[in-house]
Structure 1
Amino acid sequence: MQKGLIAAILLAVVVIGLGAFTRLTDAGLGCPDWPGCYGRLAVPQTAEHIEHAENAFPERPLEAHKAWNEMIHRYFAGSLGLLVVGLAGVALWRKQHRFIAVASVVLIVFQALLGMLTVTLGLMPIVVMGHLLGGFSMLALLFTWLLISQRPLAKNVRSGRWLWLGLAILVVQIALGGWTSANYSAISCQGLPLCHEDWTASYQVDAFHPLPERSGDNYEFGVLSHQQRITVHVTHRIWAGVTAFYLLVLALSLIQQRHSDITRGRASRLIFVLLMQVGLGVANVLWQVPLAVAVAHNLMAAMLLLCLISLVVAHYQSATLSSKRVLQKERHYGEIERANPA
């Protein structure tokens, strides 16, 4: 079971990377239908198939490289879906982790629905962002499933509110990154640390309206004005600063406190990944969002999420170990008292 979960986690990372690659190469509508491509299970290749495809979708001439980017992403996503359903079936049959197994199936079905809506609604930003968050949620759920299968969580434990707060802050930042990408705002600001323009005088809250009006048949290449895109980009940068500061302080405090070696090690990894992510963000600005760096920026955000989840789970697992040690000591002293009555 654990090998299957590891395979699913690795596959989920690949799917997230391919999703970012598809989005960044403007291939989200490389196939204008779903789940196939121009009515076929593979990208049309022969002259006859290409002619038939372009007659069926005259508004969207076939661009083979974009179509293949989209279909490869779908193939891997479909494989992940089948693997998740299989793992859930095994878990239900063994009566293990039934809640998380059912949740994983529900999430993968919902994620497939979002994938369909991404195409059928013409890259509507709220759907694109939701699809990105769904992919991150699937990865997080599978990783949590793997961790708790290795060691159970304690019950009635005081929640690690600072860890949960850090997780919430990071999720907001990931959502802002998704909104920036979905609205094609990645290169709207070319200066550091915020923007080359006087963005404070033209900050537009309506840039975050969930249902912006589209200017054609779809939302491809964005519908927001230049000032609105600057607003989105600057907000993403400001919250990135908040996220980096909070996570750095959180990790350093965990390292300095009397925690287990596991927790301190995971906190150290969080700092490393955080610094890598900040560096990739700066590189995106300086080098105008090169494809490799932008994809790495997405994947590093996923790694940050996994680092925080591992810390949250470690908090509850360490409580489990502490409870077991206390119980073992009580049993030991009880045996001594019974063996040597006063």
Structure 2
Amino acid sequence: MMKAFVWFSIVLALGVILLGAYTRLTDAGLGCPDWPGCYGTISVPDTQQAIERANQAFPERQVEPQKAWNEMIHRYFAGALGVFIAVIAVMGFKRPKAIRLLSSSLLVLVIFQALLGMWTVTLKLMPLVVMGHLLGGFSIFVLLCVLATRLQARESSDITRVKGRWCLIVAAFVVFVQISLGGWTSANYAATACTQFPICEGDWQQKLDFAGGFSLPKSDDGNYEYGRHSYAERMTIHIVHRAGAVVATLFVILAAFSLFRQGWLSSASWLLSLIVVQVGLGITNVVASLPLSVAVAHNGVALMLLASLVVFWVRTAPQTIFGDSQYG
């Protein structure tokens, strides 16, 4: 039963993350100016009278039904995921130490993630909070995948020691840093700061501002929607994200080569396929000016890449921080 709940939660978490990306990319992060409801109700105002009342209550944020629905659908799915993770935590209470640790960690993380969701709205898309919210969602998905792996290992002994497995966790760390850079890029609306590839347009070298680009921008009214960084700062953020992509790609290739040498051909091929697709999506985002479907897919593939690296690392060692014995 627990295994079924975990796998359903994995699918649900994937949906929540993609919906979150869609919400962010359609500028619907403040589609509802309050939390956890929307204009004081559990749904989006849908009648003329309800919309008028909402507009009077929140004159600074007039109702935009499409954006509000984007935001609320994301919240509904996130709330459902929270319930499933709470059930998993209860189920894991009498399980072995590794399972108990993972399930309880998930519960703590999803509670903190809910707080980040609230702060995203109340702090009006503060970039640091938005990036943290993205990383929290990714972390929940990865931990769910690790939990599923540990449960499977107890049934099938699906864990084998592999030499050079350090490459996997190092690559996972580098990919996580790159995802953080991507989150910072998105939260500061810097994804379209450079429109040429492989280098930025104009005299971009003369405009680099690392201190400004990686500091919290000032906002006179406390609202960070559509970004508060200057063009030079956004361009710097974008350039660093591109450079990070090169580094992350090299580390993923190294990890895939390590698996290939140990005979894990399908796993190595999977990693290489993901990184090729991810690089292609990143280039398309630049040259095609951030198509919505491509940008959402870019988030999804990054998630699959991070989760795959961590899961392969867990599967290639009898003992990890996620287990106190061979099978957790």
Query: Which of 243, 248, 252 in structure 2 is aligned with 1:243?
Result: 248
Task: Tell me, yes or no, if structure 1 residue 258 matches structure 2 residue 262.
Answer: yes
Greater CA deviation, 90-99 or 151-160? 151-160
Determine if the alignment matches structure 1 residue 27 to structure 2 residue 35: no
Task: Please say if residues 111 and 135 of structure 1, whose CA atoms lie closer than 8 Å, have aligned partners that are also in contact.
Answer: yes
1:134 aligns to 2:136 (yes or no): yes
Tell me the alpha carbon deviations over residues 226-256 of structure 1, each in whole angstroms, 9 at most, x when there is no partner. 000000000000010111122113212321x
TM-score, normalisation: structure 2: 0.92
Structure possessing the higher radius of gyration over alpha carbons: 1
Q: Contact 1:277–1:300 at 8 Å: present in 2 too?
A: yes
Gaps of 5+ in 2: none
1:144 maps onto 2:146 in alignment = yes
Equivalent residue for 1:164?
Answer: 169
Alpha-carbon displacement from aligned partner over 1:164-204 (angstroms, at most 9, x marks no partner): 21111000000000000000001110111121122222211
- The 3 A distance-change label for structure 1 pair 86 and 210 is farther
Task: State the superposition RMSD in angstroms.
Answer: 2.2
2:119 to 112, 117, 120: 117
8 Å contact from structure 1 (residues 151, 317) kept in 2? no
Q: What pairs up with 1:310-329 in 2 under 5 angstroms?
A: 310-317=311-318
- Distance across 1 between alignment mates of 2:6 and 2:239: 38
8 Å Cα contact 1:266/1:310 also seen in 2: no
Is the CA contact 1:267–1:311 (under 8 Å) kept in the aligned structure 2?
no
4+ residue runs over 3 A deviation: 93-96, 152-160, 207-210
Question: Which amino acid is 2:117 matched to?
Answer: G
The structural deviation recorded for 1:71 is 0.1
Cα shift at 1:215: 3.8
Counterpart in the other structure of 1:176: 181
The whole-number CA distance in structure 2 between the counterparts of 1:14 and 1:146 is: 17
What amino acid sits opposite 1:229 in the alignment? R
Alignment of 1:1-342 (within 5 A): 1-94=2-95, 97-151=99-153, 160-255=165-260, 257-259=261-263, 263-317=264-318
What secondary structure sits across from 2:317 in the alignment?
Answer: helix
CA drift at 1:318: 9.5
Shift of 1:222: 0.1
| 1:159 CA drift (Å) | 8.2
Larger RCO, structures 1/2 (Cα 8 Å, 6+ apart): 2
Distance of 1:155 and 1:278 partners within structure 2: 30
Q: Provide Cα deviations, 1:89-118, integer angstroms capped at 9, x if missing partner.
A: 111144561111110000000000000000
Residues 30 and 70 in structure 1, CA contact (< 8 A), matched pair in contact too: yes
Whether the 8 Å contact between 2:161 and 2:316 is mirrored in structure 1 is no
Equivalenced residue count is 317
Q: Deviations over 1:52-101 (max 9, x none)?
A: 11111000000000000000000000000000001111111445611111
SS in 1 for 2:191: coil
Counterpart CA distance in 2 for 1:249 and 1:265 is: 15
TM-fit CA distance, 1:158: 8.6
- The amino acid across from 2:48 in the alignment is A
Instruction: Give the whole-Å Cα distance in 1 for the aligned partners of 2:170 and 2:152.
Output: 25
Question: Take 2:160 and 2:254, find their aligned partners in 1: how far apart are those partners?
Answer: 28
Is the Cα contact below 8 Å between 1:125 and 1:210 reproduced in 2? no
Distance 2:202 2:220 in 1: 26
One-letter code of the match for 2:306?
L
Deviation by residue 1:244-272 (Cα, 9 ceiling, x = unmatched): 122113212321x234xxx3321210100
Residue identity opposite 2:119 in structure 1 = L
Per-residue deviation, 1:210? 4.3
